[in-house]
Amino acid sequence: MAGMVVGDPPSGPGPVLARHGGLGASARRRSPEPSPPAEPFGVYVHIPFCASRCGYCDFATWTDRGHQVEAYVDACVRDVDRLRRSGAARPATSVFFGGGTPSLLPASSLLRILDSIERVPGCEVTVECNPDSVDAPKLGEYRAGGVTRISLGVQSMAPHVLAYLERTHDPANVERAVAWARAVGFEHLNLDLIYGTPGETVDDWRATLERAVALGPDHVSAYALTVEPGTPLGRRVAAGSVPGPDDDDQADRYEIADDVLTGAGFAWYEISNWARPGGECRHNLLYWTGGEYLPVGCAAHGHRAGRRSWNVRNPDRYVAALEGGRSPEAGSEVLDPQARAEEAFALALRTAGGAPLPDSGAEPAALLAGLERDGFVRLGGGRVRLTRRGRLMATDVTARLLAAGVADPGPVADAEPVALRLGRGGRPG
Ligand SMILES: C[S@@+](CC[C@H](N)C(=O)[O-])C[C@H]1O[C@@H](n2cnc3c(N)ncnc32)[C@H](O)[C@@H]1O
Ligand code: SF4
């Protein structure tokens, strides 16, 4: 199958309470009525430290900044405080610590940032962990400190694939990390997988999926290996010393992932994401549905009131800004209604719920009918949804629909504005 472009790597409400700074217990006792669900609101916290750099990764992360960790944590806490005082913050329904490797921080440091964020009761709090940078005490501290969900960067269960990816962990690290996460009480566990690494066989991939499912996660993200220019992998592919990923191969692997995961009781809910019922990541849903979230940390992106913003990329500059009492924001933009509508349409189409059908227009109607006839989309209930065939061709299908004027700024502009570029959410590249 040609042209497939699945797999961009990345990322339930109630009333207000933080471990610090929310409603007190007495205030909660005075309101016996169940409160209406809080409006979804996220906080993305970027932790830009890694033990070593994987050859395929172009995320904003550094391997030589161990000395800077506490100053960085202080800066994040100051940033949260600054955002609260500016009126930008609302009680969070989800917090996502992404990286980099958040689990490299001492648990007390990560929890110092978390404690500073006002959260609703039941707030989803995810921490991205590398399998060899956690242990049972650290996971226990996370759990006791309010973390509700662990996202483990497994990538593969084949040692030679892990070696190619320059990962520092082995499959035994993964099994131990999952056992510890369970032992300390985590019910919500995501496993990140990568497919299409040079040298990975179909059997390697199938075995990775089967071993991942056997570990009992309630969420799996499976990303096609993306060759990023400027990375060691990108340079090797550009020099011709290794082949780049093959579209047809990656499409086959996507179908294997979908078969194994759906066969094991997971449902796909976004192109690269599958969950058991109730295991969907609320924070990522916020990105895909145009919700609002604050950026904390260097290179983090945020979205509020139709305005996107991003912080300085470099951790030195981030720390210096906060220490100097300045905003770490490096830039911002407000999309015009048409661009917002197109982005909202494209993001919604990536999800199982699909995107709203346009009210009228001969060109979109003819194209949609043709795409349905060819098995790329299903139409119904006022929405257009990708079939599996359509998911494999999502970028092409989306581009054709947008070119035909399917995204209508009228109704979409009235809905929640959209906040991000496809794929990565608040996570910086
Ligand atoms: C930026 S990492 C952070 C998590 C953690 N440091 C780790 O690597 O396990 C988040 C996820 O993005 C995915 N990812 C990063 N770079 C990728 C690439 N070039 N192609 C496909 N997936 C990628 C990996 O699955 C990874 O687990
Ligand atoms: S993939 Fe994860 S561990 Fe590897 S360099 Fe990127 S952020 Fe760090």
| HEC secondary structure over the chain | CCCCCCCCCCCCCCCCCCCCCCCCHHHHHCCCCCCCCCCCEEEEEEECECCCCCCCCCCCCECCCHHHHHHHHHHHHHHHHHHHHCCCCCCEEEEEEEECCHHHCCHHHHHHHHHHCCEEEEEEEEEEECCCCCCHHHHHHHHHCCCCEEEEEEECCCHHHHHHCCCCCCHHHHHHHHHHHHHCCCCEEEEEEEECCCCCCHHHHHHHHHHHHHCCCCEEEEEECCCCCCCHHHHHHHCCCCCCCCHHHHHHHHHHHHHHHHHCCCEEEECCEEECCCCCCHHHHHHHCCCEEEEECCCCEEEECCEEEEECCCHHHHHHHHHCCCCCEEEEEECCHHHHHHHHHHHHHCECCCEECCCCCHHHHHHHHHHHHCCCEEEECCEEEECHHHHHCHHHHHHHHHHCCCCCHHHHHHCCCCCCCCCCCCCCC
CB contact set of 346 (below 8 Å; sequence gap of 6+): 355, 398, 402, 407, 422
CA distance 345 to 207: 35
Q: Which atom of ligand 2 is nearest to the CA of 99?
A: 7
Please report whether residue 62 resides in a domain: yes
CA distance 234 to 227: 5
Q: What is the pLDDT of residue 25?
A: 29
Looking at the structure, do residues 401 and 264 belong to the same domain, yes or no? no
Task: Say which residues have a Cβ less than 8 Å from residue 283's Cβ, sequence separation at least 6.
Answer: 11, 42, 44, 94, 95, 96, 124, 126, 293, 425
Please indicate whether residue 130, judged by its CB atom, sits closer than 6 Å to ligand 2. Answer: yes
Q: How far is the CA of 413 from the centre of ligand 1 (A)?
A: 33
Side-chain-facing half-sphere of 145: CA atoms under 13 Å: 20
Is 323 inside any structural domain? no
Distance (angstroms) between ligand 1 centre and the Cα of 8 equals 10
Q: Give the count of domains, the chain.
A: 2
State mean pLDDT over 79-88: 96
Residue 144 has pLDDT above 80, yes or no: yes
This prediction has a pTM of 0.89
Task: Give the mean pLDDT of the chain.
Answer: 88
pLDDT of amino acid 33: 52
The residue behind tokens 């440091």 is 109
Do 60 and 144 share a structural domain? yes
Residues 30 and 109 in one domain: yes
In a domain? residue 172? yes
Q: How far is the CA of 54 from the centre of ligand 2 (A)?
A: 6
204-223 tens-digit pLDDT: 999 999 999 999 999 999 99
Burial of 61 (0-12, 13-18, 19+ CB in 10 A): buried
87/149 same-domain check: yes
The answer, yes or no, to whether any atom of ligand 2 lies below 6 A from the CB of 56, is no
pLDDT tens digits along 222-277: 999 999 999 999 999 999 998 888 999 999 999 999 999 999 999 999 999 999 99
Q: Is 152 in the pocket of ligand 2 (CB under 6 A)?
A: no
pLDDT band at 410 (very low <50, low <70, confident <90, very high): low
Rounded Cα distance between 336 and 396, Å, is 23
Same domain, 261 and 366: no
Residue type, 288: W
Ligand 2 centroid – CA 305 distance (Å)? 31
CATH number at residue 352: 1.10.10
| Cβ partners under 8 Å of residue 329, min gap 6 | 309, 310, 311, 312
**Pocket lining: 193 vs ligand 2, CB cutoff 6 Å:** no
Average pLDDT over residues 107-129: 98
Residue in the structure block whose two tokens are 């399998």: 131
In a domain, 82, yes or no: yes
Half-sphere exposure of 416 (CA within 13 A, CB side): 18
Distance of CA 326 to the CA centre of its chain: 28
Cβ 280 vs Cβ 36: under 8 Å: no
Q: Do 265 and 126 reside in the same domain of the chain? A: yes
Asked whether residue 248 falls in the same domain as residue 369, the answer is no
Could you say which of 256, 288, 320 is where a domain stops? 288
Closest ligand to Cα 152: 1
Quick one: 270 and 365 in the same domain?
A: no
- Ligand 1 environment, Cβ below 6 A: 9-10, 56-57, 59, 99, 101, 128, 130, 153, 155, 192, 194, 223, 225-226, 228
Domain annotation covers residue 19:
no
Ligand found nearest the CA of 50:
2
Q: Are residues 102 and 215 in the same domain?
A: yes
Does residue 324 fall inside a structural domain? no
Most ligand 1 atoms within 8 A of CB, residue of 223, 242, 424 to mutate = 223
Tell me which residue has its CA closest to atom 2 in ligand 2.
100
CB 418 within 8 A of CB 335: yes
Model confidence at 306, pLDDT cuts 50, 70, 90, reads confident
Give first-to-last CA distance, the chain, whole Å: 28
- On whether the CB atoms of residues 353 and 383 are closer than 8 A, the answer is yes
Q: Whose CA is nearest to atom 5 of ligand 2?
A: 53
Q: Are 284 and 342 in the same domain?
A: no
Minimum CA distance residue for ligand 1 atom 27: 153
Closest C-alpha residue for ligand 2 atom 6: 57
User: Which residue, 252, 270, 288, sits at the end of a domain?
Assistant: 288
From the CA of 429, which ligand is nearest?
1
Q: List the CATH number of the domain containing 221.
A: 3.80.30.20
Domain that holds residue 385: 337-414
CA of 279 to the centre of ligand 1 (A): 20
Indicate whether 114 pLDDT > 50.
Answer: yes
The domain boundary, picked from 255, 288, 321, lies at 288
Ligand nearest to the CA of 196: 1
Calculate how far, in angstroms, residue 219's C-alpha sits from the geometric centre of ligand 2.
Answer: 20
Q: Do 209 and 77 share a structural domain?
A: yes
Cα–Cα distance, 211 to 392 (Å, whole number): 24
- 99 Cβ below 6 A of ligand 2: yes
Same domain, 278 and 361: no
Q: Is residue 14 part of a domain?
A: no
Say if 328 falls within a structural domain. Answer: no
